[in-house]
Amino acid sequence: MPLDATPAPLVDSFGRTVSYLRLSVTDRCDLRCTYCMAEKMTFLPRRDLLSLEELARLSDIFIRQGVRKLRITGGEPLVRRDVMDLFRNLSGHLRRGRLDELTLTTNGTLLARHADELADCGVQRVNVSLDTLDPERYRAITRLGDIRMVLAGLEAAQAAGLRVKLNAVASRGMFEHEVDDLIRFAHGRGMDLTLIEEMPLGDTGLDRNESVISLRALQADLANRWTLTPERRSSGGPARYVRVAETGGQLGFISPMSCNFCALCNRVRVSCTGRFYSCMGDEGSVDLRAPLRRSVAEVQSTIRQAILMKPERHRFDLSRMAEPAVSRHMSALGG
Ligand code: SAM
Ligand code: SF4
């Protein structure tokens, strides 16, 4: 069936226009970050994943429906063997002006291997997750990781001309002492840094009450040592930004728990099995894989209907961290 030639923009029932898709290409990962996964995880059988061709076709449908920004995520997207073929395919949308931005969120362990090709595909920015600069702490947080791989990835990305933003999940304890070093490290190398509040997604086997901290409180503490000036920019995204006068760099705060940002939300997510989620903080999802195997028109109308179900706001609550607010792990959708 032919594509709907002039599809209407994707607008939810609260008037928010959706222009940003986060596409997960795998639920697998080479790390097991304590806030993200349980130590022992059972991953999906590979046959359940959308094929590369299906991921590309689905992206195309979303782009025709008004998506202008596409972020590839996971699990760890770079562990999927054919992921660079997907980037190569999607780069065509950038060249034809149908997409404003193609980006990647990665843990960075395999970035050194792929940085040049990513840049060649038109990727201009990557988000790299790094919560500490201490090799032992890094190992403890990720359970499996070697920080040297990430540092090599950061260097390769910058050498390839990619802009890098570091993402760090804030946690109670050591992180509060290390955050100053992370600011100096990131800003000293021309990278932005965004701090993320831990969210109660999936059972990790650990009590999140022990680790969660409010970024409002952390920001107030940082303001005792750094000169933080709020930035005006808004990307429709969840982060609030400040400029750090001492470094000249930008510091972001993603605080879904202590500061709700849903009114500006312009994003939707698709899992690696083709399930569509209009909100990360909600259990609701619909299947796009079966429609995709039948007709484009069916995918388009399923997306339109599902967007109308986008909740007004997520269900996270700082006072209820003991139980997951949603049962899926962060790695199932990629943040
Ligand atoms: N593997 C890639 C990575 O780590 O960047 C991409 C997927 S990962 C799920 C995306 C982001 O979610 C990372 O920055 C990670 O730190 C963050 N994250 C994972 N679990 C989280 C949680 N429970 N609360 C807040 N952020 C979380
Ligand atoms: Fe893997 Fe990213 Fe989750 Fe860490 S946060 S376990 S790197 S998916």
Q: Average pLDDT of each block of 10 consecutive residues along the chain (335 residues)?
A: 64 87 96 93 93 96 95 97 96 97 98 98 98 96 96 98 97 90 98 92 81 89 96 73 97 77 83 91 88 96 90 69 70 69
Strands 192-196, 163-169: pairing kind:
parallel
pLDDT at 334: 67
State the architecture of 10-332 in CATH terms: Alpha-Beta Barrel (3.20)
- The C-alpha angle with vertex 243 and arms to 242 and 245, in degrees rounded to 5, equals 140
Backbone φ and ψ of 112, nearest 5°: -60, -35
pLDDT at 258: 59
State in Å: Cα 4 to ligand 2 middle. 37
330 lines ligand 1 (CB under 6 A): yes
Residues 6+ apart with CB under 8 A from 136: none
169 lines ligand 1 (CB under 6 A): yes
Ligand nearest to the CA of 334: 1
| pTM, 2 dp | 0.92
* Domain locations in the chain as residue ranges: 10-332
166: β partners: 128, 193
Mutate which of 27, 73, 76 for ligand 2? The one with the most ligand atoms within 8 Å of its CB, which is: 76
